[in-house]
Structure 1
Amino acid sequence: MKRVVVICRNEDAPNITSLLRKETHLTTEYPTLTHYSILVKDDELEDLIARLHQAIEFMDKSTVVEVYSPDFVISPGLKETLNSERKGHRSPVEKLIESAENTADITTNMIAMAAIASVVALIGLFLNNVGIVIGAMLLSPLLGPIDSFAISAATGNFRLVRTCLKTIVILLAGIVLIAFVASYLLSFAMDLPITAEILSRTVASPVYVIMAILLGFAVMIALSTGISEGVAGVAVAAALLPPAVVTGIALAVYPQGAFGAAILTLENVAGLMAGCMIGGIALQVGPRSYREKVTAKTLAVRIGWVLVILIIMLLFLSVLPI
């Protein structure tokens, strides 16, 4: 349950009152200002904030909207609502945007986790051990910039979109480079086996694009409904980490498989981005004001076309005989 406080000029009060006919609220009038105190369920907060934002967009700049989380609420009429609100809880757009801003830019910790994950995955692939590969997926930090990209595109934040793309490129390039260097050096000390786990990731297929799109869509649903980020992160890492590591391995010791592994990695990247964007659109993740919505729509359409063209090119390359 949330408590929303709105303070506006008396002459603007009718616009707010008309929005609150079905809401539990208290109105207090002062000589020049009107104070509204509104109780709203968590899963209805986003809709209320959107309506309030549209109503106050052209009001006086002194209008204020504040959101609080009460320690407790005693109300017979709201008791059943409080007991059932967690079942369909959906994170407000503001939380998703804040999450995107926190995970878009690359950090030292992110690089360290990606490096460790790539080495662990490398060991698992050479040992043909699925359990070790899954363990590497749990360490991978690839979820953050992928979902941040989709949220930034949906909200029209071009600066953050560029930051996310830079982070994704650096992380994937770093994973491939670490796998290449490690495999190249190890090849002088021992015979490195090309295991079934490695071979299975050197063949690209259109099916993987569909899988990646579905995974991306599922990730956005998971993040917007409060499902553990770790669960969604494993899904993303499963699609990106092993193929990227195999690309590095193949470049060092199995050149004939490098092209297929690289195409598979790019297919999964493009598919995940597309799926996350579709999920963001389906969940109506976007800015509040009309001007920002126009900007966001333009950016999303352009990125969407780029992804469509990229996916078509990758699908064509994946069916080429090598």
Structure 2
Amino acid sequence: MNTFFSYFSLSNQIEDFQKVIKDIESNVEFYGTNLWLLIFAIFVASLGLNVNSTAVIIGAMLISPLMGPIMGLGLGIGINDLLLLRKSFFNYLFAAGVSLGTSTLYFLITPISTAHSEILARTSPNIYDVLIALFGGLAGIVAASSKHKGNVIPGVAIATALMPPLCSAGYGLATLQMSYFFGAFYLFLINTVFIALATLVVVRLLKFPYKKLQNPQDEKRANQIAWIVVVATLLPSLYLGYDIVQQEKFTQSAHRFIQNETRFPNDYLLEKSIDARQKSIVLTFGGKRITDSEIEGMKKKLGYYQLEGATVTVRQGFEYLNEIKQTSEENPLKQILAEREIEMIALKARIDSLEAKEVNTIQLTKEIKALYPNFENIAITPLRSPDTLKGKNLENQLAFLQFSKVLNSKEKIQLQNWLETKLHLKMKVIFDP
């Protein structure tokens, strides 16, 4: 058992404590090279967010030196080094201010102002971001304290994503979208607090040299402040994490409800819209009008899918667009667009109808082959006649079947009857040979 736990021991691989402290202190300050690297990294990350390029954003995170002062904060609290703590805090604020200013300036002058997915992904932090920052920070300080550092620190910088939230916050400021600013900046604070917390915990566990304060009350107050900051940062993320889980559950349940309960004879679901935040489902149908009783029957089944309280709005495709047409008569362009949309919906409904009637020849081939080992190929196509051109709905089909050996008359009749019964269609069958 002792041998098993020895695999988890860090004692033989821990670097000299003073060397670790010196290395972290050297990365705390921002001037000269570090400052220019930070500015360039912010520009690269902003460009990556602007063009929605994940690869460019990852490159910016590798360049960024932001991890230094954050780990310095955790180390300063962990060993009670007030001088290091003050220096780390000042440089952290300076780096964050420079980053925010640089990204805001970039988004003010860039001609592209659309919020792409890479920006939006960093404006709604939750408990999962807390866990990423915590475990990323643990990996970072353990690697920094080890003789075998490897390339963990760049990986932590990528995983915890310190740069993109600052750039997204700059985008929010530049475009005056304060919800983006506060959401992204909160994510940056989450990463800061929990990387620093991870550093503090590991430093205490590894028993780094601890500086006792002259006044025990000051030491107690410092620890209380540290944990108040941690809890104050954690609580909103817990709520946001719970909210995002509830929204995902609603979306999944809504998809199951739509898949199972929205099938009506001679109707086609043309469009569906799910808003998990508002708990609403909007369904647009084309085809025969659905009655009010059918709609009410569908809504009564919401409870089976844990969708109590959800609102379902049903729009009848053609009727809905006709309403648009009637209210747009004063605007010829809107009327033309409405007419074109009606034509497109009618065409889609026709295509859906044809696809519904299309014969599954793959499955049919397997079944015929099982009955007639000499069977080789089949082709089925609708028969076209003058009556079809006049609009009469005839479902006659032409089937061409190829065999390696000739079938006798009885087998041909049996096979034709089987095909018509199987497909529910009247058929003209040609055998080869």
- Structure 1 range deviating more: 95-104 or 303-312: 303-312
- Structure-2 change in CA distance of 1:269 and 1:295 (3 Å): same
- Structure-2 change in CA distance of 1:314 and 1:266 (3 Å): farther
Greater RCO, CA 8 A, separation 6+: 1
The letter for the 1-side match of 2:209 is: G
The answer to whether the 8 Å contact 1:201/1:246 transfers is yes
The letter for the 2-side match of 1:199 is: L
Aligned to 1:252: 174
The letter for the 1-side match of 2:187 is: L
Cα shift readout 1:289-314 (whole Å, capped 9, x = no counterpart): 8778x799647624532332432454
Match of 1:205 among 111, 126, 142: 126
Q: Which runs of 5+ in 1 are unaligned?
A: 1-85
The structure with the largest alpha-carbon Rg is: 2
Shift of 1:182: 0.8
Shift of 1:100: 3.0
Aligned to 1:223: 144
The answer to whether the 8 Å contact 1:89/1:226 transfers is yes
The letter for the 2-side match of 1:193 is: T
- Structure 1 range deviating more: 250-259 or 267-276: 250-259
Aligned to 1:182: 106
Shift of 1:170: 1.1
The answer to whether the 8 Å contact 1:124/1:130 transfers is yes
User: Helix, strand or coil: the match of 2:161?
Assistant: helix
Distance 1:252 1:280 in 2: 39
Distance 1:165 1:220 in 2: 18
- Structure 1 range deviating more: 223-232 or 193-202: 223-232
The letter for the 1-side match of 2:185 is: A
Aligned to 1:262: 185
Instruction: Kindly report the root-mean-square deviation, in angstroms, between the aligned alpha carbons of the 2 structures.
Output: 3.0
Aligned to 1:277: 200
Distance 1:191 1:138 in 2: 25
- Structure-2 change in CA distance of 1:175 and 1:314 (3 Å): farther
- Structure-2 change in CA distance of 1:148 and 1:103 (3 Å): same
Aligned to 2:64: 140
Distance 1:232 1:180 in 2: 27
Distance 1:229 1:166 in 2: 29
The answer to whether the 8 Å contact 1:120/1:136 transfers is yes
The answer to whether the 8 Å contact 1:152/1:160 transfers is yes
Shift of 1:118: 0.4
- Structure-2 change in CA distance of 1:106 and 1:306 (3 Å): farther
The letter for the 1-side match of 2:233 is: I
Structure 1: which 4+ aligned runs deviate by more than 6 Å? Answer: 289-292, 294-297
Shift of 1:157: 0.9
- Structure-2 change in CA distance of 1:229 and 1:103 (3 Å): farther
Distance 1:88 1:257 in 2: 46
The letter for the 2-side match of 1:204 is: P
Cα shift readout 1:13-61 (whole Å, capped 9, x = no counterpart): xxxxxxxxxxxxxxxxxxxxxxxxxxxxxxxxxxxxxxxxxxxxxxxxx
Distance 1:296 1:239 in 2: 34
Distance 1:296 1:153 in 2: 12
Shift of 1:226: 3.0
The answer to whether the 8 Å contact 1:146/1:273 transfers is yes
- Structure-2 change in CA distance of 1:295 and 1:120 (3 Å): farther
